[in-house]
Amino acid sequence: GENVEQHPSTLSVQEGDSAVIKCTYSDSASNYFPWYKQELGKGPQLIIDIRSNVGEKKDQRIAVTLNKTAKHFSLHITETQPEDSAVYFCAASDQGAQKLVFGQGTRLTINP
């Protein structure tokens, strides 16, 4: 089955700097890669996703890149703000499985 590895487990950046979180996956059949943000006391919420037919997707200050050959994908947050502090999860799935496999999570802290 699919296995997703996420790094780093914790990340601390200065407000205004960029943050990058990386994930690798094992199943070459995987074709859907979402990112979730979990704020304290809440459930995870989808912030951006990418499918295997594109290499990059951007939505304001967040972007995701996908390298299918190397089987890794990354989340990029630019101009970080205090409200970006949260736990972020990557995930991978193939259409047939209909289930997401999550990475271990990254606790991002934005320092003012």
Query: Distance between CA atoms of 44 and 72, rounded to whole angstroms?
Result: 21
Instruction: Please choose, from the candidates 70, 72, 71, the residue with its C-alpha nearest in 3D space to the C-alpha of residue 20.
Output: 72
Site string for other proteins, 36-75 (x = CB under 8 A): x----xxxxxx--x--------------------------
Beta bridge partners of residue 90, listed in sequence order? 35
| DSSP-derived secondary structure for 50-100 | EETT-SEEEETTEEEEEETTTTEEEEEE-S--GGG-EEEEEEEB-TTT---
26 binds other proteins (CB under 8 A): no
27 binds other proteins (CB under 8 A): no
* For other proteins, the closer CB: 69 or 98: 98
Task: Single out the residue of 11, 20, 27, 32 in contact with other proteins (rule: CB under 8 A).
Answer: 32
* For other proteins, the closer CB: 16 or 46: 46
Residues of this chain that interact with other proteins (CB under 8 A) are 1, 32, 34, 36, 41-46, 49, 87, 89, 93-102, 104-105, 107
